[in-house]
Structure 1
Amino acid sequence: MPTLENRIPPPLVATLFALCMWALAAVLPKVAVSDTLRLIATAALVALGAFFCLAGVLSFRRARTTVNPLKPQTASALVSSGIYRLSRNPMYLGFALFLAAWAVFLASPWALLGVLGFILYMNRLQIAAEERALEALFGAEFSRYKSAVRRWL
C-alpha cells in the first residue's frame, strides 16, 4: 500500500469517513438521547477538536515550517513545543474529535466505527510515512521526541 501513503489530504480523508458514518447512521439503529444532551456533547467535542487543530497549526506557523501533510520531507523544523508536547499529531486528533462529534450528533453508536477507521487509516497511510520522513530529516532528535510523546494523546 505504499502507493496510497500521503496521497489524500487528511481533511478529505476525514470528510470521506464522515460521509460513511452518515450512511451507516441512516440505515442502522440510533440511540435515544435528548437533543439537548446530544447537542451539548457535540459542541464540546467540536470545540475540543478545533482547539487541537488550531493549536497544531499555530505551532507550525510559529516554527515557520510546512503544514502540508502530503510533503513531510519539506519540514524545516521539528516542532516539539506547545501542543506538540501532548500529542505528535494534534491536528489529526482534532479531526478524530470532529468525527466523534459527528457520531454523537447522528446519535449512532455504529458511526463511531468511522472514528476507528479514520484512526487506523491515518496510522497506516499517513502518519507512518510522515514519521519515516521526519526520522530521515531529524534523526536522533525525532527518535527522542517520538519516545517521549504519544502519537495521539
Structure 2
Amino acid sequence: MNAYRLKPLSFPWPPVLYGLAILFALLADRFIGILPSVMPNGYLFYAIGALLVAVALFLDLWAIKTLVEYRTTVMPHRGAQRLVTSGPFRYSRNPIYLGYTLITLAIGFLTGNAWFFVAAIGAAIVTTVIAIRKEEMHLLARFGIDFEHYCQRTRRWL
C-alpha cells in the first residue's frame, strides 16, 4: 500500500489507554490499597498537582493548535499530512501523550492516590509499545529522511 495512504493505528488507542490507567488507579486504591498516601503536606502536593494540570492542559492545547495550523490530523489513528516540528513538537515528538501522562500524575497529587504514579508510568510504556512505535513507522514511511533528522534532534518524550 502507498505510504501516503497508510494509517498508523486502526483505533485511537492512547486516550483509551490513559483512561484505563486512571480507572486502574482508582480501582487499585479501592481494592488493593497497599501504596501509601502521597499527602504528607496536603497544600504542597495540591499545588504540585494543580501546576501539573495547568502545564498538561497548556501543552495539549498548544500541540493541538499547532497541528491544526499545519492542517494535519490531531487523531492518532489517521495518517499525517505534514511533519510538524515546531511548537511543542520542537521539544517532544509526543507532546499530547506527555500531557496525558502529566494529567495522570497530577490526579495522583490531587487525590493522594499513589497508584496514579504507577498508572502514569504504565500508560506511558504501553502507549510507546502500542501506539508511538506504529506512529513513528508511519511517519518514517511518509516523510523518510526528514523524519529521521527530526528524531535525531527531538526526544520521544522529553
TM-score by length of 2: 0.86
Could you list the runs of 5+ residues in structure 2 that have no partner in the other structure? Answer: 1-8
Q: Residue 25 of structure 1: CA displacement?
A: 2.5
Structure 1 residue 40: deviation in Å? 1.2
Deviations 1:71-120 (A, max 9, x none): 2xx21100001111100000000000000001112313343110110110
The one-letter amino acid of 1:11's match is: P
The answer on 1:97 being equivalent to 2:106 is no
Shift of 1:32: 3.7
d(CA) in 2 for partners of 1:66, 1:117: 26
- Match of residue 134 from structure 1: 139
Q: Which blocks of at least 5 consecutive residues in structure 1 are unaligned? A: none
2: CA distance, partners of 1:148 / 1:8: 27
Correspondent of 2:46 among 39, 46, 68: 39
* Paired amino acid for 1:106: T
Partner of 2:58: 51
Provide the aligned C-alpha RMSD in A: 1.5
Query: How many residues matched?
Result: 147
Among 143, 151, 157, which residue is 1:152 paired with?
A: 157
Question: Which residue type is aligned with residue 35 of structure 1?
Answer: G
Counterpart-to-counterpart distance in 2, 1:110 and 1:33:
16
2:18 paired with 1:11: no
Among all aligned residue pairs of Structure 1 and Structure 2, give the percentage whose two residues are the same amino acid: 33
Q: C-alpha displacement at 1:21, in angstroms?
A: 1.0
Distance 1:81 1:8, change over 3 A: closer
Contact 1:6 1:129 in 2 (8 A): no
